[in-house]
Chain A
Amino acid sequence: MFMSQVLDLMLEPFAYNYMTKAIWVSALVGAVCAFLSCYLILKGWALMGDALAHSVVPGVAVAYLLGLPYAVGAFTSGIIAALGITFVKRLTMLREDAVIGLVFTTFFAIGLLIVSINPTSVNVQSIVLGNILAISDEDVMQVIIIAAVSLTILGFKWKDLMLAFFDESHARSVGLNPWALRVLFFVLLSACTVAALQTVGAVLVIAMVVTPGATAYLLTDRFGVMICLAMVIGAATSAFGAYVSFFMDGATGGLIVVFQTLVFLTAFVFAPKHGRLAARRASRAAVAS
């Protein structure tokens, strides 16, 4: 009797259309972002993910204002921000991190300024913190298209990307174009950032494109395995976060990222080879011998 009550309670979210939608859309976004995160954490590009997520905000605000598709505005302002970063970096001696920080915070502030002048067009919290539980069908369509295209391209190109990023001269010698692959990667990243924006919001996108890859990196030394692990972690934590948010009345983005961080910390302590416990065992064995 009691068991069936618990079961009813646990299955309750699935009775609501918006919940099932939120759960599988989150899982999809989590998986694609996790794929990209493997490259970002190995290249030291964590700040790029954060910067892109903030830079798209003015585009989103203008798109809402003019009734354009969300993704078009986001994409445009993301590209303008990337050009701005390149431009300022070329003209000045400023450190790269300062230039990136300067440009993305400015874009973010412009976005907030536009929203604050037209408070009716869009709720600022849904941009900054995400609002997957109220995602519209058109936005779901956009996310599906983004995810499907990205996964297909990544599926075909993941080895080329790996080669181009981590062994450029070798990549060149086998006839790849590292520059074109880099552009391709950043186009995919900004598209996925737009998708992630709706799930967890601009502030937490960085977790989606960093944490699963970092977790997987602690668990394996092989890049192919790392990608698979990261995708499983990203999809599972995102789906679970969306599911639990039903019982918490909201904060979907927050919950997803909290679960991603918990999985990371678990891997940090218990990972078979690179975890803290394994390292301690190894050093004790070394002392004993």
Chain B
Amino acid sequence: MSILTTMLTWITDPLAYGFMQRGLVVAVLVGAVCALLSCYLVLKGWSLMGDAVSHAVLPGIVIAFVLKIPLAIGAFAAGLGCALATGYLKQNSRIKEDAVLGIVFSGMFALGLVMFTKIETDQHLNHILFGNMLGVQWPDVLEVAIITLPTILIVLARRKDLLLYCFDPAHARAIGLPVNILHFGLLTVLALTIVASLKAVGIILVIAMLIAPGAIGYLLTKRFDLMLGIAATAAIGSSVVGTILSFHIDAATGPTIVVTQAAVFVMALIWSQRPRVAISRTAALK
């Protein structure tokens, strides 16, 4: 009984603080939307694309400061710009796609860094790079909700089309799906997700949130709807545990969430490797 009470207070104690409540809401929202997207990225082989777009938003954020427009708009434009520039450079040169992606996103990130040192701003570079989950205010929470909730709905509503596009674009085209729209739709949703995750985990760690949950789901099931569910559960659970854990061990929140997810992945990996005794015995008999 006393162990239960201790566990309960371990969880509820941090929630007495307003900043922890806000942080937790943001962590759950961001975890959920990243988890959905991660299923597609893992299946399509777009891990590097997620990495690239998340780094490439930096110059957009800096320009948005200067022009005094919402940061989300600048970040979104830059992220999409990275994807388009990569497509153009790849089509018009003989360099492989992975190299082109690397060149474009590192160039944009570097440009953002240089611009950042030259402007006057009240923003901390560390908060953009690593997030500032415990520093979010209620208006920020609202902004994150406004971006994430429609994104989640769109992805869930079109999940079958997106899945077909990821697995077999040629088939998708053959049955009359608008492949180009799906391609850019997926990119747009990816950019939006990264923008929403900015305040929580920052632009450097968001890629971890965009790979691990999908990989966990992939290990545990062969059915896509179930994979979405497992990924979302794993991500939301890790977000909650990670946020509370970071409070107790006095560590940065974003990295703690990511390491928690990795621990879940390792557990899933071990579970997926469990010996199938019944099958191997019948196989041995034959």
A-B CB contacts (within 8 Å), total count: 188
Bound complex: CA A117 to CA B250 (Å)? 7
Q: Which residues of A contact B5 (CB under 8 A)?
A: none
Cβ contact of A258, chosen from B46, B110, B126, B129, cutoff 8 A: B110
Check if A276 is an interface residue, CB within 8 A of chain B.
Answer: yes
Is the pair B102, A109 in contact by a Cβ cutoff of 8 Å?
no
Nearest CB on A from B167, distance (A) = 12
Besides A102-B208, A109-B255, A218-B95, 5 other A-B contacts (C-beta < 8 A): A44-B98, A100-B47, A105-B208, A109-B259, A268-B93
Nearest CB on B from A43, distance (A) = 9
Interface segment out of the listed A24-32, A73-81, A152-160, A202-210: A202-210
Check if B262 is an interface residue, CB within 8 A of chain A.
Answer: yes
Nearest CB on A from B61, distance (A) = 14
Known: A108-B205, A254-B113, A261-B107. A128 touches B129 (CB 8 A): yes
| Nearest-neighbor residue (CB-CB) of B260 within chain A | A109
Is the pair A94, B218 in contact by a Cβ cutoff of 8 Å?
yes
Interface segment out of the listed A143-151, A163-171, A179-187, A244-252: A244-252
Cβ contact of A113, chosen from B113, B125, B219, B251, cutoff 8 A: B251
Q: Which residues of A contact B92 (CB under 8 A)?
A: 268, 276, 279
Q: Which residues of B contact A40 (CB under 8 A)?
A: 99
Interface centre among B41, B50, B211 (most CB of A within 10 A): B211
Check if A101 is an interface residue, CB within 8 A of chain B.
Answer: yes
Nearest CB on B from A146, distance (A) = 21
Known: A117-B251, A258-B114. A98 touches B211 (CB 8 A): yes
- Interface positions, chain A 79-122, Cβ under 8 Å from B, are 88, 91-95, 97-102, 105-106, 108-110, 112-113, 116-117
Check if B68 is an interface residue, CB within 8 A of chain A.
Answer: no
Is the pair B106, A261 in contact by a Cβ cutoff of 8 Å?
yes
The 9 A-B pairs with the shortest beta carbon distances in the complex, nearest first, are A261-B107, A254-B113, A257-B110, A116-B252, A105-B208, A207-B106, A109-B258, A101-B47, A106-B262
Bound complex: CA A249 to CA B50 (Å)? 31
Is the pair B208, A91 in contact by a Cβ cutoff of 8 Å?
no
Bound complex: CA A182 to CA B212 (Å)? 28
Check if A47 is an interface residue, CB within 8 A of chain B.
Answer: yes
Is the pair A255, B110 in contact by a Cβ cutoff of 8 Å?
yes
Is the pair B42, A95 in contact by a Cβ cutoff of 8 Å?
yes
- Interface positions, chain B 38-85, Cβ under 8 Å from A, are 41-43, 45-48, 50-51, 55
Interface size class of A (residues with CB under 8 A): 35 or more
Bound complex: CA A204 to CA B58 (Å)? 13
Bound complex: CA A105 to CA B262 (Å)? 9
Is the pair B42, A98 in contact by a Cβ cutoff of 8 Å?
yes
Q: Which residues of B contact A253 (CB under 8 A)?
A: 110, 113
| Nearest-neighbor residue (CB-CB) of B268 within chain A | A92
Is the pair A106, B94 in contact by a Cβ cutoff of 8 Å?
no
- What mask results when residues 98 to 135 of chain B are scored 1 for a CB within 8 Å of chain A, else 0? 11111100110111111011100000011001100000
Check if A49 is an interface residue, CB within 8 A of chain B.
Answer: yes
Cβ contact of B219, chosen from A94, A117, A217, A264, cutoff 8 A: A94
Q: Which residues of B contact A95 (CB under 8 A)?
A: 42-43, 45, 47
* Cross-chain pairs A/B with CB under 8 angstroms, 29 sampled: A41-B96, A46-B96, A47-B47, A50-B48, A50-B102, A88-B269, A95-B47, A98-B214, A101-B207, A101-B211, A102-B212, A105-B211, A106-B212, A106-B258, A106-B259, A112-B255, A203-B204, A204-B109, A207-B110, A210-B102, A213-B99, A214-B99, A217-B94, A218-B94, A254-B117, A255-B114, A258-B110, A264-B107, A274-B94
Check if B165 is an interface residue, CB within 8 A of chain A.
Answer: no
